[in-house]
Amino acid sequence: MSGPKHSCGVIGIVATHNIVPALQKTLMIIQHRGQESAGITIFDGNEFKFHKENGLVQDALRNSKIEKLNGNIGIGHVRYSTTGSKDVINAQPLIGKVRDGIEIAIAHNGDITNCEELKRKRTSEGGTFHSDSDSEVIMSIFAKHFQKNDIIHSLKHTASELDGSYALAILIDNRLFGVRDPYGLRPLCIGKLNDGFILASESTAIDALGGEFVRDVEPGEIVEVTKNKVIPYPNHNRRDRAYCMFEWVYFARPDSVLDEREVYDVRKRIGEILAKEHPADVDSIMPIPDSGRAHAIGFSIASGIPYEEGFMKNRFAERTFILPDQSEREKAVSSKMNPIKSTVNGKRIVIVDDSIVRGTTLIRLIAMLRKAGAREVHVRVGSPPVIAPCYYGVDMKSRDQFIANNNSIEDIRRIIDADSLGYISIEGLIEAIGKPKSDLCLGCVNAKYPTRIPKEVHRSQSTLID
């Protein structure tokens, strides 16, 4: 509920039937990854056709707007802007032409950390840009390296210039490719359909089409997806992994499987570890819906304290994190959440949330619970304190926005008016995810980054990078 803003989501489908309805359906399934804009691009046998707009999928891609689109290969995108403005010109997929009249469309999840450097370089080489999206920079670099008879060469050389995070679904005329950054910072997986294949940011999109999960795209891997097979082009220059821990903590749907770990299972395990690290003598455990629900279930199981629903969520209220300013987000909380008085009144409760960034939403929620008669309100958090910016596709850019950056845990407890406050430890989070520390990006909670960011500490060293 009070977690960070989402990154984006990508889909790519190739089959023998018209895949436009499938693109629409799967984008709705991964809508949680971006609510700002939605778009699809298909190859109709002769050329690209597309539609994209600001807004949710059900509005931007409603049937009446896409009924004239028809093709058996295409890509789709839902966007939350982290680089580039919210203007519809930055909505994706982005479409352009390279040499020999070849059309290309790109759907991108992530952030290119050397975007400005690359843009300056391409401009000096004669490149022009029509948006402020880093995805257009990727397209421009691909155009520079483009070789009609060796697309894989072109993609490999493009990837070699990019720093940061990227999961890409790329349409090049009638060919579909998936590309994942060498660290695996952003997820991308492959599914088998009855008559084709799908690339998706999350495995739930595969489930929605009745498909079969095949595997994750490996970090640094390029795959070409046809209606009959998947052709892999692995990365032989292996780097350390850096899977984003927030994908498991907050971003992904609980029913998704990311890099061999089910999200629901990880979140439940987080709650179990939280209960051991920060026990509480209370009457009931309650989640901040929806993202804190699995964490709270795990806490209840490990502690033996009953699980209760403490809030009713208005599912038709506007998503608070996409409102344009903080004051509007705060005002929207009361229209989105309402305490269930019968489970709160007179009770000592633990509320479990996935993360705390600013803390402003939690302040209002705790005040609601106290007004509804809660005797005590204790808070447990499923991620360690967020203290540092994310440079890889999460809208956490400035240290001064983090409540944990200049406050102790006791200070935060007083600010949010909780009776006690406990965060899962970094070691506990790593245990819950079930992957080695060296395979995770923990930059936002330990200020050590897997790529070289100016004025930040690389995780393999202890000094700032110039």
pLDDT at 86: 56
**8 has catalytic annotation:** yes
Whether the pLDDT of residue 108 is over 90: the answer is yes
Specify the pLDDT at position 290.
Answer: 84
List, for residues 427-466, the tens digit of each pLDDT value.
Answer: 999 999 999 999 999 999 999 999 989 889 998 776 666 5
Q: How far apart are CA 447 and CA 10, in angstroms?
A: 28
Question: What is the pLDDT at residue 332?
Answer: 58
Is the per-residue pLDDT at 3 higher than 80?
Answer: no
Give the pLDDT score at 265.
98
Exposure class string for 365-376: b at 16+ Cβ within 10 A, else e: bbebbeebebeb
User: Residue range 239-247: average pLDDT?
Assistant: 92
311-314 contacts, C-beta under 8 A, 24 or more apart: 311/286, 311/337, 311/338, 311/339, 311/340, 311/365, 312/337, 312/338, 312/339, 312/340, 313/289, 313/337, 314/338
**How far apart are alpha carbons 45 and 71 in whole angstroms?**
7
Question: Residue 80: what pLDDT?
Answer: 78
Q: Cα angle at 46 between 170 and 28, to 5 degrees?
A: 45
Residue 198: C-alpha distances to residues 11, 175, 214, 251, 252 (Å): 7, 13, 10, 21, 18
Residue ranges of the alpha helices (H) in 97-174?
Answer: 115-124, 134-145, 151-161
pLDDT of residue 99 exceeding 90: no
Q: Which of these is catalytic: 8, 115, 189, 444?
A: 8
Q: Which two tokens stand for residue 33?
A: 């990854």
SS3 for 286?
A: strand
Query: Is the dihedral angle over the CA atoms 80, 116, 224, 187 positive or is it negative?
Result: negative
pLDDT digits (tens, 9 = 90+) for 337-358: 899 999 999 999 999 999 999 9
Residue 373 pLDDT > 80, yes or no? yes
Give yes or no for residue 328 having a pLDDT over 80. Answer: no
The band of 321, judged by pLDDT with boundaries at 50, 70 and 90, is very low
Q: How confident is the model at residue 331 (pLDDT cuts 50, 70, 90)?
A: low
- Residue 53 amino acid letter: E
The answer to whether residues 95 and 50 touch, using CB atoms and an 8 Å cutoff, is yes
Record the pTM.
0.91
> What 8-state DSSP symbol labels residue 150?
-
Residue-range domains of the chain with CATH: 9-240 (3.60.20.10), 261-449 (3.40.50.2020)
- 315 vs 47, residue with greater confidence: 47
- Confidence label for 324 from pLDDT (cuts 50, 70 and 90): very low
| β-strand pairing of 440-441 with 243-244 | parallel
pLDDT of res. 320: 46
Rounded Cα distance between 257 and 285, Å, is 26
Model confidence band, residue 101 (pLDDT cutoffs 50, 70, 90): confident
E-strand ranges in 6-72 read 9-14, 37-43, 48-54
Q: What is the pLDDT of residues 283-312, one digit of tens each?
A: 999 999 888 999 999 999 999 999 999 999
Averaged pLDDT for residues 90-103: 88
pLDDT at 400: 85
Written as one string, the DSSP assignment of 198-248 is EEESSTHHHHHTT-EEEEEPPTT-EEEE-SS-EEEE--SS-----EEHHII
Burial 263-282 (b: 16+ CB within 10 A, else e): bbbbbbbbbbbbbeebebeb
| 147-to-84, 100, 102, 155 alpha-carbon distances in Å | 28, 10, 10, 10
Q: What are phi and psi of 438, to 5 degrees?
A: -70, -15
Looking at every residue in the chain, the average pLDDT score rounds to: 90
Q: Count how many residues are written for the chain.
A: 466
**Paired sense of beta strands 376-381 and 348-353, if any:** parallel
Q: Is the pLDDT of residue 23 over 80?
A: yes
**Percent above pLDDT 90 for the chain:** 77
Give the model confidence (pLDDT) of 383-429 as tens digits: 999 999 999 988 787 888 899 998 999 999 999 999 999 999 999 99
Residue 322 has pLDDT above 50, yes or no: no
The residue assigned the tokens 């892999």 is 232
Which token pair is 27?
A: 């984008």
Is 444 within 8 Å of 390 (Cβ atoms)?
yes
Q: What angle do CA 111, 117, 119 make, to 5 degrees?
A: 80
In tens, the pLDDT along 195-212 reads 999 999 999 999 999 999
Q: Is the pLDDT of residue 319 over 50?
A: no
Structure letter (DSSP) for residue 318: P
* C-alpha 11: how far from chain center: 13
